[in-house]
Structure 1
Amino acid sequence: MKLIFAIVNKDDSGAVQNALTKKKFSVTKLATTGGFLLAGNTTFIIGTDDEKVPEVLSIIEENSKKRTQIVPSSIAYGAGLSSAYPIEVAVGGATIFVTNVERFEKY
């Protein structure tokens, strides 16, 4: 048995959740915040049999799209002077961790 942690952009979380539950995967959904852009994410926790992991990963990949976003950044010139300028960063997609489960019980 495996435990999958999938961190997905909040814009993709509804599609990921719908696709997983449509295929009868049980998911726990947590609202999380990323450290880099301080943007909203959703972390899914999914427990499944080893042989179903590729299907879960495929569903997440199909429903989590990378895209670019313009965010403000700033540069300091010294003596208290700074300027803000926009930069383009990649957002979306998914970060996934798959771990072994030593024991599973459901009451």
Structure 2
Amino acid sequence: MKLVIAIVHDDDVHALLDDLTANQFRVTKLATTGGFLKSGNTTILVGVDDDKVDEVISSIKDNCESREQIATSPAPVSGATGVFIPYPIEVRVGGATVFVVDVEKYAKL
């Protein structure tokens, strides 16, 4: 058995959850926050048999597209002096970061 951990952008999570549940996968959804842009993302946990891992990853790939987005520059670290004027920067958002880990023991109580 494997645990698939996928960190996805909030804009992609609804389509992904619909697809995974339609294919009979049980999913746990956790609200999380990204580090660089401090933007919302979602961490999805899916416990699957070894032979179903590729199917889950394929679903993630089909539903989580990366794209360019305009964001304002992050505020400077404390200690900076003067006036801070945010400026727009183009960043890549979306896609997914996926980890697959072995599950030593599984129990549904």
TM-score normalised over the length of structure 1: 0.91
Equivalent in the alignment of 1:18: 18
- Output the CA distance in 2 between the equivalents of 1:15 and 1:21: 10
Equivalent in the alignment of 2:71: 71
* Structure 1 portions without partners, runs of 5+: none
From 78, 83, 86, the equivalent of 1:84 is 86
- Alignment pair present for 1:105 and 2:89: no
* Number of aligned residues: 106
Pick closer, same or farther for the CA change 1:79–1:60 going to 2, 3 Å: closer
* Structure 2 portions without partners, runs of 5+: none
**8 Å CA contact retained: 1:70, 1:89:** yes
- Output the CA distance in 2 between the equivalents of 1:30 and 1:51: 25
- Give 1:81 deviation, angstroms: 4.8
Q: Secondary structure at the match of 2:87?
A: strand
1:102 maps to a residue whose letter is: E
Measured on the aligned residues, the alpha-carbon RMSD in Å equals 1.8
Shift >3 Å, 4+ stretches: none
